[in-house]
Structure 1
């Protein structure tokens, strides 16, 4: 037995480090002669549960209920705020003060838009990358440089078009967006398009499926014109591979070139 207080303290710390934080009793327990586990833990016999377990279950259910309510309230708030914005500047300010999306808390900047809002062409980016989070501009870094070259190939200058980000905040570690994050940001993205009213949208990468509210990847969507209806505003949208993807997969640039020619032809016919 341990009689030295130092030894007892050392043993206590060992138990705590091992996760032992509760004392049961001094009497030994015959584990081979315990009451039926089923009768002790069955959901239909709540009185058999320890008060601490019942309290923990209630707490867990409360947290789940609170999370669902919070998300539903957040989406309703996003829709209400977005619809109330009458100008692009109002929408930008609304996003910068929107607190329901957790992405904002870890982002360096709110990536909104830049360029000519009166242009007939709106190019929509996916969620911000590290470059875009640092600069606060859509299509920054190498992706932006490639986009400029792609546009120049069909005689369009970057400064003549309107560039916007579908998601205003960078996910930590550039992870995949959750359904909740997508749902909270979508009302702002759709309202943005409705306010700008472009004749054509070039949707890059995941932005295409996001705006269409579809799970389909850009591999299935690219190259096919879609009608995007937002309230009374109707525009034509062409999904295309994202410039970042094309940097990693240069062999697919031929498909992007085909899509750019389709865009050029459509814009020429509209003139």
Structure 2
């Protein structure tokens, strides 16, 4: 009985056709996909959460032209927005001081409605949130600073927490619809990277506030008190007080001891 030879594995030899055209009604033109990829390439190899946040800020400045960006983190969206731990750029100290002392209670992005819409849509703009009770905030605070519209985006890191991204679009009456569309796609691709970064061991094991954690992490990276203050828009004396609290909680007395402790963390 003759034995049939083993069938050869099939090779793909078809000649490929032209690229598939974008479907009718496609929201994002090809150049916006390049923006999306550009941001992902900028952040995907960040060694830690702080470097990730800084790279994301720079990428949004580069690919979207935003001069004012914040990337905040926390266990929940409310903690991220209200705790302020993260990276901020483009805001003056005077602006932040005025906001903290006069306007924070009126911020539409700190309302339950904003949290609900961010959870539902992923990306929202100031225009999405405006109600009559917010007009004083817009006319008395934002517009004198040249701000007509803002956007916020939440990146869900699952059990590890969330990242909040906020940006101001200066010189435009409204946030471009294309920006919102790109960011809605981008946040889904950033989610697994955010979950990985948020899940890395940090000083969360100690009973520190988000701001104390942030000061500690910057001190370990070698920044001086004035440098930390400029990065976080707080005074050097405030940095010193935060560090004293960090030393007391962690059982250290110097930056060197704190750095050794950080390096010993699993």
TM-score using structure 1 length = 0.28
TM-score normalised according to structure 2 size: 0.29
